[in-house]
């Protein structure tokens, strides 16, 4: 038996209760699971290893043998995220270890929703696992509501919201390719794409447009990347997050909710909650913090490493 197998079995046992909710989860989260600089994610029968440091690289083949022994994956890739500045995230080295390269796509289940993921599609396969519990909660809060989903990526929040009874979700993303994947996720879940549900453009562009038009929403989801470049300039979450919150607050109906999140390592759940609550109160008056939280139980070690630093807050306008 490999030296890694006992540790992997412990990590698997800890996470087995989560399989009742989803077959997409993080199985190993770095040093918190005694695997420094390494993560292992499961997407149904597809798995991905990610190396954030070189410490375990010499043992990659032994790790793969242990993964096969315990999970017998249909497909496995290794992704190399060794650049400390994160500048190569859009073109990382990705190696297919098990399976055929053309078989990199699969479907996963998350609560009542289903999503398409592709493990060879840059560094991000199409679903951020650390947001699973928050997506499910947003779905449960969305009955008979209209939502604005900023930086929508593949529209996973929107799928949960529509399945939860939302009347309409406006998804905003700068990439037409990404929005097409959102439409595919709608189709996979039997959802009709309503007029105006997909807006190609920057979230700032949409927020300014919506403010001019006097649009209003019952819920807003703001889950931006830490850094993004487009034709209008550069988005830096450290500098621009609260600017987005301020513009969004004007669009929020009374009793509406605003979910703000970021993976920037300089934030904490408490700091995001405090700053966002202050911004919303300044713009619309009374509001309350519902919760401030980080990842679910498959992401231990929050704040102590690059691969685990989600900060999120839910605020309700009164």
Q: Domain 128-317: which topology?
A: Rossmann fold (3.40.50)
Q: Is the pLDDT of residue 87 over 90?
A: no
pLDDT averaged over the chain?
94
d(CA 131, CA 128): 6
- pLDDT of 168-188, one tens digit each? 999 999 999 999 999 999 999
Among residues 163, 48, 41, 45, which one has the least CA distance to residue 111? Answer: 163
Task: Supply the pTM of this predicted model.
Answer: 0.95
d(CA 123, CA 93): 9
Structure tokens at 161: 């919201």
- pLDDT of 23-68, one tens digit each? 999 999 999 999 999 999 999 999 999 999 999 999 999 999 999 9
Among residues 264, 194, 257, which one has the least CA distance to residue 224? Answer: 264
User: Cα angle vertex 250, ends 249, 255, to 5°?
Assistant: 65
**Would residue 286 be called left, alpha or beta, if left means φ above 0 and alpha means ψ between -120 and 50 degrees?**
beta
- Beta bridge partners, 125, equal none
d(CA 216, CA 224): 20
| Banded model confidence at residue 83, pLDDT cuts 50, 70, 90 | confident
- pLDDT of 232-272, one tens digit each? 677 889 999 999 999 999 999 999 999 999 999 899 999 99
Structure tokens at 234: 């550069």
3-state helix, strand, coil in the chain (%, to 5): 35, 30, 35
Domain residue ranges of the chain, discontinuous segments joined by +: 5-103, 128-317
d(CA 265, CA 268): 8
- pLDDT of 107-136, one tens digit each? 999 999 999 999 998 889 999 999 999 999
Range list of H helices, the chain: 5-15, 60-71, 132-140, 156-163, 176-188, 203-213, 237-249, 269-284
CATH architecture of 5-103: 2-Layer Sandwich (3.30)
Q: Which residues contact 61 (CB under 8 A, 6 or more apart)?
A: none
Q: At what angle do helices 5-15 and 60-71 cross, to 10 degrees?
A: 50
């Amino acid at each position: 038996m490999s030296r890694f197998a006992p540790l992997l079995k412990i990590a698997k046992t800890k996470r087995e209760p989560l399989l009742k909710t989803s077959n997409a989860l993080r199985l190993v989260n770095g040093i918190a699971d005694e695997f420094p600089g390494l993560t292992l994610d499961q997407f149904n029968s597809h798995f991905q290893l990610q190396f954030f440091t070189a410490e375990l690289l010499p043992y990659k083949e032994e790790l793969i043998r242990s993964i096969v022994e315990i999970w017998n994956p249909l497909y496995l890739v290794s992704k190399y995220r060794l650049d400390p500045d994160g500048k190569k995230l859009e073109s990382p080295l990705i190696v297919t270890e098990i399976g055929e390269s053309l078989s990199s796509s699969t479907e996963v289940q998350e609560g009542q929703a289903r999503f398409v993921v592709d493990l060879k599609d840059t560094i991000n396969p199409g679903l951020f696992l650390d947001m699973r519990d928050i997506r499910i909660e947003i779905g449960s809060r969305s009955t008979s509501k209209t939502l604005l989903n900023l930086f929508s990526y593949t529209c996973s929040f929107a799928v949960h919201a529509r399945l939860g009874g939302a009347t309409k979700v406006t998804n905003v993303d700068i990439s037409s390719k990404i929005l097409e994947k959102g439409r595919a996720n709608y189709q996979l879940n039997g959802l009709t794409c309503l007029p105006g549900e997909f807006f190609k453009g920057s979230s700032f562009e949409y927020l300014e447009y919506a403010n001019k038009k006097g649009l209003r929403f019952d819920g807003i989801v703001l889950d931006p990347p830490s850094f993004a470049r487009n034709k209008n300039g550069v988005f830096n979450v450290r500098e621009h997050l609260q600017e987005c919150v301020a513009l969004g607050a004007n669009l929020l109906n009374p009793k509406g909710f605003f979910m703000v999140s970021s993976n920037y390592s300089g934030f904490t759940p408490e700091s995001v909650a405090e700053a966002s609550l202050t911004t919303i109160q300044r713009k619309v008056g009374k509001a309350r913090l519902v919760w401030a939280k980080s990842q679910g139980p498959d992401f231990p070690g929050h704040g102590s490493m690059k691969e685990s630093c989600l900060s999120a807050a839910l605020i309700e306008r009164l």
